[in-house]
Chains A and B, each alone.
Chain A
Amino acid sequence: MNGILLLEQSLNGLQFGLMLFLLAAGLTLVFGIMDMINLAHGSLYMVGAYCIASVATVTGSFWLALIVGVIAAAVFGILLEISILRRLYARDHLSQVLGTFAILLMCNETVRLVWGAQPITLNPPEALSGPVELLPVLMYPAYRLCIIGVGLLVALFLYLLITRTRIGMQVRAGAANREMAMAMGSHVQGLFTVLFGLGAALCALAGGMLGPLLAVQVGMGESILILAFVVIVIGGIGSIRGAFLGAMLVGCVDTAGRTLVPMVFESLLSPEAASSAGPAVASILIYVLMATVLFFKPRGLFPTHG
């Protein structure tokens, strides 16, 4: 019984971790290459999820909505980069935090204005709504398996993109040393616009995939944005490999914490103490993880900058 639960929870952790990776991948590249803090990254996730949910309601097709939403978010991201964010690269972190925080406030209010304050529903595609029998005793929702599949595919795509292509080479060069990469003739500005669009598309993909599991609502971007920041800080800013590892770590620790910690506490403490201490410890676990990593490795697990 315990083994089954453990397996199910590790699948959940993997699934959550992969979705975090989609968000963190864009964020870490933006951070690493342009040395830019983008608090509005979560807004792209939110806008993407809302677009997908709306199109899905109109057309009735989840997959069509996913494609439309991802493209819309990419266009939105590129427009945002060209119109506003580009002006913030040369500024200090403080201005970047403030400027993107302003964008975040505006996105939240605009979404509230257009779609209202109530959460909206996004249903998973019909074909994937049932459970699948993985092992004779383990039933697992098909949709969650699909998320894992999509996440792994995207991770593979990014891995190939970063390690096997010319663009990927320029990205790595930019993350390691921006000035040198520019001096060697790579067009970092244009590259960055493309990357930003890619990051936005990945955000929307994560938003659309997680939409049926979590609520599509205003403010959904913030909570996951902070998790994505935790991921890239643990992994080392600018490193895709670090982001992947960090995302897996955070996803598993968070999921395991939420199920295992209360169980352990219940067996050790009185029921009242366990019921109040369990959730508290579970929800701060990943922050403890981050603080610990930064304490021993102040630049994350895979630092990219020389």
Chain B
Amino acid sequence: MAKSLLPKSLDHDLNWRWSSLVLCALMVLPFVANAMGESFYIALATRILIFAIAATSLNLILGFGGMVSFGHAAFLGVGAYTVAILTQMGLTDAWLVWPVAMLVAGSFAFLIGAVSLRTQGVYFIMITLAFAQMMYYLVVSVKTYGGDDGMPLLTRSRIGMWDMSTDTNFYYVTLAVCVVIWVLIARLLNARFGHVLQAIRDNEVRMQSLGYAVFRHKLCAFVLSGALAGLAGALLANQSGFVSPAMMQWSQSGMLMMMVILGGVGHLYGGVWGAIVFLLLEETLSHFTIHWQLGLGALLLAVVLLAPNGLTSVFKHLQKEPSA
């Protein structure tokens, strides 16, 4: 991985001054949207937050661990299907269902990671892709759970007395989950584990010879990332009220990867920026033409060729320029 892509420091600041401002804006967003009569934006914002979690979980292994996983959508799908299946069985308590979704996705990540992490570089990219394809075809051919057509989610998960059926309430739950995740991820990255993980990304051989358990650290991060993606999948299933194999398609993994790269590889908020930019682009472009993917592709190519460090680093660059 090109070193220029990455932030210099191993410590990652939550940047409370700015993030609390953004958080306040996000808190009042439903009121503004409802006042404008555009409640559609609440659903869109929820979707963006969910994909921000998914992209950040990928960033954890891709950006901070240097593992380019091309099968991340599989974990998203596993989480979503776990919720859908449990709901079908009559289990709807979010305190039970969501952790189970994380657990199942994490277990899959453990199995897949244990095999895949033996390989390096391109082979790792390809083997994660192969595993994701396996999961995809499994889901497509299991007719009990809808097969190709997917299955609907009859009701959203419950949290105590909190009414999850309205989009606004669900939005606040998603926001709360996001805040908890970012605080935890920042703590994790600034702790010993995070430093070791980033050091492995920068020089695996040296860490190995210094006596660190390289494989165990990578596997740990992989499992954690899978579990987080599972949580994002659980939220996504709840939000859209529907799960289908399309969630696990390899182009979905590609989209998640795009979000991470757009936002900034190895930046704490890279996944967030990526999700925001990507989904807003998709939203606006698809308004103009059904061939929006053409514009998206052109833009992506431009980003890859012209701004390889992602958007976050562009902002940082702009911020720092006057003082330098």
Instruction: Please give the residue numbers on chain A whose beta carbons come within 8 Å of chain B beta carbons, in ascending order.
Output: 31, 35, 37, 39, 84, 87-88, 91-95, 97-99, 101-106, 108-110, 112-113, 222, 226, 229-230, 233, 237, 275-276, 279-280, 283-284, 287-288, 290-291, 294-295, 298-300
Contact of A291 among B130, B298, B308 (CB under 8 A): B130
Q: Is B304 a contact of A95 with CB atoms below 8 Å? A: yes
Q: Give Cα distance in the complex from A118 to B169, angstroms.
A: 42
Evaluate whether A294 and B298 lie within 8 angstroms (CB atoms) in the complex, with A94-B1, A94-B265 already known. no
Nearest residue (CB) in A for B251 is: A222
Evaluate whether A106 and B301 lie within 8 angstroms (CB atoms) in the complex, with A92-B2, A97-B125, A98-B257 already known. yes
Q: Mark B282-305, 1 if CB is under 8 A from A, else 0.
A: 000000000101101111110111
Contact residues, B40-71 vs A (CB, 8 A): 62, 68, 70
Interface segment, one of B29-37, B92-100, B131-139: B131-139
Q: Give Cα distance in the complex from A105 to B303, angstroms.
A: 15
Nearest residue (CB) in A for B135 is: A284
Q: Does B144 contact A (CB under 8 A)?
A: yes
Q: Is A109 a contact of B129 with CB atoms below 8 Å? A: no
Q: Give Cα distance in the complex from A97 to B297, angstroms.
A: 13
Q: Is B123 a contact of A294 with CB atoms below 8 Å? A: yes
Evaluate whether A97 and B133 lie within 8 angstroms (CB atoms) in the complex, with A31-B122, A106-B298, A233-B127 already known. no
Contact residues, B98-140 vs A (CB, 8 A): 115, 118-123, 125-127, 129-131, 133-134, 137-138, 140
Across-interface contacts of B296 in A (CB, < 8 A): 102, 105
Q: Does B141 contact A (CB under 8 A)?
A: yes
Nearest residue (CB) in A for B112 is: A291
8 tightest CB-CB pairs across the interface, nearest first? A105-B297, A106-B297, A280-B141, A102-B300, A109-B294, A283-B137, A102-B301, A99-B304
Q: Is B301 a contact of A91 with CB atoms below 8 Å? A: no
Interface residues on B, range: 35 or more
Can you list 30 pairs linking A and B with CB atoms under 8 Å apart? A37-B125, A91-B308, A92-B2, A94-B62, A94-B261, A95-B261, A95-B304, A95-B308, A101-B254, A101-B257, A102-B296, A102-B298, A102-B301, A104-B297, A105-B294, A105-B296, A106-B298, A108-B293, A222-B250, A229-B126, A237-B122, A276-B141, A276-B144, A280-B141, A283-B140, A283-B141, A284-B138, A288-B134, A290-B127, A295-B118
Q: Is B251 a contact of A298 with CB atoms below 8 Å? A: no
Q: Is A290 a contact of B130 with CB atoms below 8 Å? A: yes
Q: Is B130 a contact of A93 with CB atoms below 8 Å? A: no
Q: Give Cα distance in the complex from A300 to B123, angstroms.
A: 9
Across-interface contacts of B118 in A (CB, < 8 A): 294-295, 298
Please name 5 further chain A to chain B contacts, defined as beta carbons within 8 Å, in addition to the given A39-B254, A91-B2, sorted by A numbering.
A31-B122, A97-B257, A99-B305, A103-B297, A110-B294
Q: Is A97 a contact of B70 with CB atoms below 8 Å? A: yes
A118 to chain B, nearest CB (A): 14
Evaluate whether A93 and B121 lie within 8 angstroms (CB atoms) in the complex, with A98-B261, A101-B254, A226-B129 already known. yes
A87 to chain B, nearest CB (A): 6
Across-interface contacts of A287 in B (CB, < 8 A): 130-131, 133-134, 137
Q: Is A284 a contact of B137 with CB atoms below 8 Å? A: yes
Evaluate whether A226 and B133 lie within 8 angstroms (CB atoms) in the complex, with A106-B297, A110-B294 already known. yes
Q: Give Cα distance in the complex from A12 to B254, angstroms.
A: 32
Q: Give Cα distance in the complex from A101 to B70, angstroms.
A: 12
Q: Is B138 a contact of A280 with CB atoms below 8 Å? A: yes
Q: Does B258 contact A (CB under 8 A)?
A: yes
Nearest residue (CB) in A for B121 is: A93
Across-interface contacts of A95 in B (CB, < 8 A): 2, 261, 304, 308
B133 to chain A, nearest CB (A): 6
B91 to chain A, nearest CB (A): 23
Q: Give Cα distance in the complex from A112 to B297, angstroms.
A: 14
Contact residues, B251-282 vs A (CB, 8 A): 251, 254, 257-258, 261, 265
Evaluate whether A97 and B2 lie within 8 angstroms (CB atoms) in the complex, with A37-B125, A102-B297, A105-B300 already known. no
Across-interface contacts of A91 in B (CB, < 8 A): 2, 304, 308
Evaluate whether A92 and B122 lie within 8 angstroms (CB atoms) in the complex, with A112-B291, A226-B129 already known. no
Q: Is A295 a contact of B291 with CB atoms below 8 Å? A: no
Q: Give Cα distance in the complex from A101 to B5, angstroms.
A: 19
Across-interface contacts of B123 in A (CB, < 8 A): 233, 237, 294, 298-300
Q: Does B191 contact A (CB under 8 A)?
A: no
Q: Give Cα distance in the complex from A241 to B70, angstroms.
A: 26
Contact of A103 among B126, B140, B251, B301 (CB under 8 A): B301
A116 to chain B, nearest CB (A): 12
Across-interface contacts of A283 in B (CB, < 8 A): 137, 140-141
Q: Is B294 a contact of A93 with CB atoms below 8 Å? A: no
Contact of B294 among A31, A113, A276, A279 (CB under 8 A): A113
Q: Does B314 contact A (CB under 8 A)?
A: no
Contact of A102 among B1, B70, B134, B304 (CB under 8 A): B304
Nearest residue (CB) in A for B130 is: A287
Q: Does B143 contact A (CB under 8 A)?
A: yes
Contact of A226 among B62, B250, B299, B304 (CB under 8 A): B250
Evaluate whether A92 and B294 lie within 8 angstroms (CB atoms) in the complex, with A102-B301, A222-B251 already known. no
Q: Does B25 contact A (CB under 8 A)?
A: no
Q: Does B154 contact A (CB under 8 A)?
A: no
Q: Give Cα distance in the complex from A102 to B300, angstroms.
A: 6
A303 to chain B, nearest CB (A): 10
